[in-house]
Structure 1
């Protein structure tokens, strides 16, 4: 077996174990029913901590990932997952769940080490193959977790609490597997090859100074490109509201189902969304998008993408039945998967290979910053809206984004 295929198998196995978390489709139901905690506390006092923690740690984790050469942070990723689900099983207070959310921020932030490891350890000619293998493993893990969870709950074989044991087992296995991931000898910034001919001599004296200078040079050259800037803006805003919508969707489902107390199919919904999202991602990656070469055409695509997602979120927010909300949530997720793939492709086409991690990392930082502002304004402080009101704000925000691009397009046409 070729070396890159071995590496791909190792990384894909880790991704599969990490993403097979059967408890996640029912995590809010579990907290409310087994922890004696209200939906309002989950919505306003617990879940927002994860957003703040993720934002606070992202820059530090990004720099530490490069400085420590990836593997220690991948081990930290798995370790934080084990800590999260251990605390979920054996602690009950609001404070302990807030600590869980702080660790969840670490869990999310350290994923950058897993994804950027590919570009540090694999030859450029194999980037696409290894990336597709690891992405496929992630989709398979999420699909299996959701389908398994729904079947176990529906047939009464396990309750919401017992699903967490399955998640914990998989994360323990992921932690053990992480130690078998090969070490990386070099990294993009702090541990570059001393014989790297792509750097001028002035870059080869002080490791820390040179690393930060190179980060700045990559940042400046990338965002000087107007195409990168435009697609990055959409990427960050769309990602912000996607994270917000997926983080609190179970709270909205509980609100809709509260009076009716009907059967819930969260697991099946997540399984369908994972499957259709994967297909949308593949389709977006395969289609020829040469028509996006002109700015007016790019703006038109952004308008359509934003409008569709906004409409689906508004329809989900105003749904009176759980089934219709499920349907609009799936539609939103598929539209997001398709649009973010095209968006990421357009950004990547205009970047140097070594800048992928930095630019997408910074775009994520912008997304989390906006998400934090939204959370403070709409959820935990400020208006403190009910779930349906929150989702209406998110839907209108997508439509506002479409309106901004429409104004720019109109100005360009008139000009």
Structure 2
């Protein structure tokens, strides 16, 4: 750890345009990142993963998947997120994106090659997958380090749209291979692995941003400061000893300054009430989405008829993802006073999400459940895009990964609590439909919070503007008529 701090401290000032790698524009890195996101998410096996694990290839029971295998993702996320968050900005995003691509590839290979019925092997594969998942904070933050703030809204739509298009392409391909060509599910794994290998290749070509969090702190002191540090120790008379002592003192100062800056940034980022509310939705909405997405295939497995039925999970996922992608791209071009109407927008559409999940709990018809999930996912993708660019517009360059990482950490903590209560509490033993009732209530509370907050902001802003107009009218000077 000391060597890490010294290595960062020894770097001298860097030159170049912080908004573009090696003076390049924003279009090239954005295109590469979109291609990477598309390839990394094109996984034909994803909509059929539960069916594969519960089928003859792996032979896991529904109870094992619900209570032993899938919860590993949530619990390992909370362990891995903080370390990844702390190194993402210091490593300047690209190495973490490469790590994400490697982990995604390795986790799928482990699931494919693992022994039949071995829950420990499956949990290990999902642990590796979690490391790739938490590294997504680098993917979110990377592009904001290369583009000017006025392009945040549009670029966010492009990047998230590429992710969703990749997932939709994978789901569509998987559905076609299963339903039309009767391809075995193991073959879908091979296609998924090939796509993620392509994503790894693209990640290696991403340009390295020139600025990172706490770069000024990491530069350390000047040469005169180093000499002064060495001279403070009278026993340090040999040249190498003087240099080692100076480096250690500078490393300690760098660590102290970085810690103070980190704490100050946290206070500054969340001191704005508007930003804090967007962060609340980002964390809570992400928690609810991944909780639903993790267990919806188990719900469909319980709802669908056992005979003479072809699962259309891939088609539904593709339709939902395409709708979400279109919504994300559309949001990038909507002209709306988000500071005024943002909370109302979030609250109203979150209420629709809650209603869709509530209907999924009530119905036993898988087709109704399919439609509700498609609506749920499309709305979530739209709203998370709104939150992302609204948060990014309000932050300085070096705070992106910090804030997105903290939001994700808070969402993971909330998801861990939700998983522990709903999934792993032995006394409850809730059915799958009852679990989705809790998720519907979760989004319902979130919708109520944002509707109340949004209505307050609208009325308060309108009232303040009317008062200011009245004051300006009262302060107008009286005009006396001139005599003819």
TM-score normalized by the length of structure 2: 0.76
Contact 1:244 1:371 in 2 (8 A): yes
Larger deviation, residues 221-230 vs 394-403? 394-403
Number of equivalences: 405
Partner of 2:373: 329
1:205 Cα deviation after fit: 9.2
Larger radius of gyration: 2
Q: Secondary structure at the match of 1:286?
A: coil
**Offset, 1:282:** 2.3
Q: Which shifted more, 133-142 or 261-270?
A: 133-142
For residue 165 of structure 1, what is the aligned residue in structure 2? 190
Aligned Cα root-mean-square deviation (Å): 2.9
Which of 24, 28, 31 is the matching residue for 2:53?
31
Q: Contact 2:156/2:388 (CA < 8 Å) preserved in 1?
A: no
Q: Which runs of 5+ in 2 are unaligned?
A: 1-22, 221-249, 461-484
Uncovered stretches (5+) of structure 1, i.e. residues with no partner: 196-202
Paired residues of 1:120 and 1:188 also in contact (CA < 8 A):
no
Provide closer, same or farther for how the CA distance between residues 108 and 257 of structure 1 changes in structure 2, counting only shifts above 3 A: same
The equivalent residue for 1:17 is: 39
Aligned partners of 1:142 and 1:127: how far apart in 2?
A: 23
Aligned to 2:276: 229
In structure 2, relative to structure 1, the CA distance for the partners of 1:397 and 1:12 (3 Å cut) is: closer
Measured against aligned partners, the alpha-carbon deviations of 1:386-413 in whole angstroms (never above 9, x if no partner) come to: 2111111100122223344566679998
8 Å contact from structure 2 (residues 175, 313) kept in 1: yes
1:145 to 144, 167, 170: 170
Matched residue, 2:290: 243
Among 141, 156, 170, the alignment partner of 1:116 is: 141
8 A Cα contact 1:300 1:409, kept in partner: yes
Match status 1:387 vs 2:438: no
Deviations 1:291-312 (A, max 9, x none): x544xx5554444233211110
Offset of residue 65 of structure 1? 1.5
> Distance in 1 between the 2:146 and 2:218 partners?
13
- CA deviation map 1:143-190 (0-9, x unaligned): 211111000000234111210011111222222333333334431225
More off after superposition, 332-341 vs 37-46: 332-341
SS in structure 1 opposite 2:33? helix
Q: Distance in 2 between matches of 1:326 and 1:81?
A: 27
**Quick one: distance in 2 between partners of 1:153 and 1:117?**
36
Q: Which residue of 1 aligns with 2:92?
A: 69
- In the TM superposition, residue 136 of structure 1 has moved relative to its aligned partner by 3.6
Partners of 1:41 and 1:181 lie apart in 2 by: 40
Return closer, same or farther for 1:121/1:406 CA change in 2, 3 Å cut-off.
closer
Helix, strand or coil at the partner of 2:89: helix
TM-score of the superposed pair, with normalisation by structure 1: 0.88
More divergent stretch after superposition (342-351 vs 404-413): 404-413
Paired residues of 1:78 and 1:178 also in contact (CA < 8 A): yes
Contact 1:273 1:333 in 2 (8 A): yes
Q: Does the 8 Å CA contact 1:222/1:359 hold for their aligned counterparts?
A: yes
The reply on whether 1:214 has 2:261 as its aligned counterpart is yes
1:284-295 aligned at under 5 Å gives the runs 284-290=331-337, 292-294=338-340
Any conservation in 1 of the 2:77–2:131 contact (CA below 8 Å)?
Answer: yes
Distance in 2 separating the partners of 1:113 and 1:191: 20
Match of 1:380, SS state, is coil
Q: Measure how far apart 1:16 and its partner are.
A: 2.2
Match of 1:88 in 2: 111
3-state SS, counterpart of residue 320 of structure 1: coil
